Chains A and B, each alone.
Chain A
Amino acid sequence: MPRKEIGLESTIDYLSILDTKGKPDKDLEPRIGKELLLDMHRAMVRARRFDEHQLRWQRQGRLGTFAPVIGQEASQIGTVAVLDDQDWMVPAYRQSAAALWRGTPLAGLLLYNAGYNEGGEIPEGQNDLPIAIPVASQIPHAVGIGYALKQEGSGHLAMTYFGDGATSEGDFHEAMNFAGVFNTPTIFVCENNQYAISVPREKQTRAGTLAQKAIAYGIPGIQVDGNDILAVYSAASEAAERARKGDGPTLIECVTYRMAVHTTADDPGKYRTQKEEEQWQKKDPIERFRKYLTARKLLNKKKIESLEEELEKEVKSAWDEAEQRMAELDRHPEVMFDHLYGEMPAYLGTQRKAMTDEDDDANG
């Protein structure tokens, strides 16, 4: 009986196109229209400025705990930009950049982060799921959505996001296995931001890459420089083409870095070194992309300044809108009974009424 090596056919590519100076590898540079390039740049800056404001408001007690996207803008915008309106986006809890790209309003995110479910409402016609808090739990949903899309023969796909830590959850493995067996049009985007709260990537798995986990499920995997939007976009385009053709799922590992906190409830100073943070600072995805766009004469200092001014105004007016909505919602605690069931059961109606009456009494 022999003992011999089983030759595995799968390999994992690593893809990087822009260097840290924003200079592209000409052979790999994707053809992206000027308008889309500028839209992607705007979306990255918009998400970052929004989070910077949110962090301040959170420190002032105006918002609750949330997970900032800062540093991961290229991983999200580079992937979500390949979706069309009929495709589905299935987020975890740090995908504000992707959600904003899809059309979620700033005021909605603010409302949500201030603790109001209503802020999670997804605009009509936007095929996104609400954010998912239990780690990795959204991944099987994306497989089921993919299954339904395939069943309808639509040629559309579902894209789901999760972090490096999520790859240790059973949901991730079960979902990847399902997607492989059922050949669903699902793109798994792993934003490897190096830390699961405080646990570093090398303590999460002994595997050399997260992308290679695809091999065990018989599906393609690729590792990309997640701070290089051109690389991310190229990998996502390939995966989308595969899904639309009926060739099934792909795992994309975006190697990136969470430049801010995990959530506003932790302190990265306790588990990361300043030196490490400074090194990643040099790979800032927005800076790199700006250098590239500037070199291509699509962007200049004046254009950047006017964009920054416009975004500053937009974020502030979103806060005013959210604040007004909060005041309205605070007057009606009985809405907590709404939307539990398609039709409200009688006992819930009774509890809802009791709360309304109590409230009326309290308000004289």
Chain B
Amino acid sequence: MAQNKVTTLQAINTALHEAMAQDDSILVFGEDVADPEEGGVNGATRGLSTEFGESRVRSTPISEQAIIGAAIGSAMAGMRPVAEIMLMNFSTVAMDMIVNHAAKLRYMSGGQTAVPLTIRVTTGAGFGTAGQHSDYLEAWFAHTAGLKVVTGSTPAETAGLLKACIFDDDPCIFIENLPAYWQKGEAPEPGQTIPLGKARIAREGSDVTVVTYGPQVAVAEAAAEQLAEEKITVEVVDLRTIQPWDRDTVLNAVAKTGRAVVSHEAVRAFGVGAEISSVIHEELFDQLRAPVQRVGAPSTAVPYSKALESAFVPDADKVVAAIRKTLK
């Protein structure tokens, strides 16, 4: 039993150490990632270059296209690169590499080439880093066939999923939440990986099902806690893999309660929730007791000021309100 509490950052760092020790073909590329340059701006890669050498853990020039481009090239030549793009917003600079190359090379080569690449990105409101530092772009990536999009909701989940991405043969966008970096949870079991494409039931309930991922899992759990006082029990499904998402687990969980809320921090309009909500309606229309509700951020950039930023991020009250709507 893991007794120690660790932060998400420590869990990520441990996962990277474990993976690199296990497989020599794993390389780490990114800005500031090697130890002479502080082992990552948040310290996620700290210690790796000291342990595995600077030929495997490389601080790069500030060139997102080349970071992803070179990682793609090395992946096709037999390596298993983990590229760090410091902030999810900066992945936009490398979109050609991600969308036109990483996602499509297997397809366009008729299955001859694989791109076993993990792109670690950080994002998330909470620190007043504003619209060019804390956007949630998972729907863009989920919309692109050929990519996998993955995010964890606790330190142990994050570590297990990150390792699964690293050892997966397809390109994975691994989303890390900045405020969650310093949140603590149970330490991951050594050697544990969590299979991609499998959701987990984070909390069992029988009245309403909340489908969510990443930092919103804790928010949904808090909402469930509030409603438990009223004898309303809420099932919380943590997607873990946003694309390809686990339809069976989600549809079973919704069929059980007949009510669903889909929640994420990303902008609600055209978001991941829209797809999940649609599929629930398509597949379970007869069994639904109320229309599926969606919770997400308003249609604007992530604001800078603390007050506005707090109003932007969906909190437990918003999730509770959405749940109540399904109960009317």
Contacts and interface: CB of A to CB of B under 8 A. Distances in A.
B300 interface: no
A182 interface: yes
Interface string A160-192: 000000000011001101100110000000000
Interface residues on B, range: 35 or more
B110 A118 contact: yes
Contacts of A118: 110
Given A130-B105, A140-B66, A148-B79, A346 B247 contact: yes
B106 A140 contact: no
B63 A117 contact: no
A201 interface: no
> Main SS of chain B's interface residues?
mixed
A175 B69 contact: yes
B65 interface: yes
A171 B108 contact: no
Given A122-B109, A151-B55, A339-B107, A175 B66 contact: yes
B112 interface: yes
A130 B76 CA distance: 11
Interface string A102-123: 0000000000000001101110
B327 interface: no
Interface string B85-108: 000000000001100110001111
Interface in B67-81: 68-79, 81
A211 to B, nearest CB: 21
B244 interface: yes
A340 interface: yes
Contact of A340 (B100, B106, B248): B106
B60 interface: yes
A345 B197 contact: yes
A339 B197 contact: no
Contact of B101 (A141, A152, A170): A141
B145 interface: yes
A52 B79 CA distance: 40
A120 B56 CA distance: 32
Which residue of B68, B77, B197 has the most chain A CB atoms within 10 A of its CB atom? B77
Given A152-B78, A177-B63, A339 B69 contact: no
A269 interface: no
A144 B72 contact: yes
Given A178-B60, A178-B63, A137 B108 contact: no
Contacts of A338: 107, 111
Interface in B105-143: 105-114
B52 to A, nearest CB: 12
A347 B241 CA distance: 14
Nearest to B58: A182
A15 B68 CA distance: 35
Contact of B106 (A147, A171, A339): A339
B81 to A, nearest CB: 8
Given A148-B74, A345-B197, A117 B110 contact: yes
B167 to A, nearest CB: 11
Contacts of A134: 96, 100
Contacts, number: 140
B58 to A, nearest CB: 7
Which residue of A132, A147, A170, A175 has the most chain B CB atoms within 10 A of its CB atom? A147
Interface residues on A, range: 35 or more
Interface string A135-156: 0010111111111110110000
B146 interface: yes
A88 interface: yes
Nearest to A90: B73
Contacts of A346: 244, 247-248
Nearest to A160: B73
Contacts of A345: 197, 244
B101 A132 contact: yes
A151 B27 contact: yes
B73 to A, nearest CB: 2
Interface in B213-267: 244, 247-248
B111 A339 contact: yes
B204 interface: no
A145 to B, nearest CB: 4
Nearest to B59: A181
Given A171-B65, A347-B244, A178 B110 contact: no
Nearest to A129: B76
A133 B100 CA distance: 9
A175 B71 CA distance: 12
Given A141-B69, A346-B248, 7 more contacts: A121-B112, A140-B69, A141-B72, A146-B73, A171-B96, A181-B60, A182-B58
Q: Which 8 A-B pairs have the closest CB atoms?
A: A140-B69, A144-B73, A144-B70, A174-B66, A345-B244, A148-B77, A141-B73, A339-B111
6 contacts: A117-B110, A137-B69, A137-B96, A137-B97, A147-B74, A178-B70
Interface of A: 88, 90, 117-118, 120-122, 129-130, 132-134, 137, 139-149, 151-152, 158, 170-171, 174-175, 177-178, 181-182, 338-342, 345-348
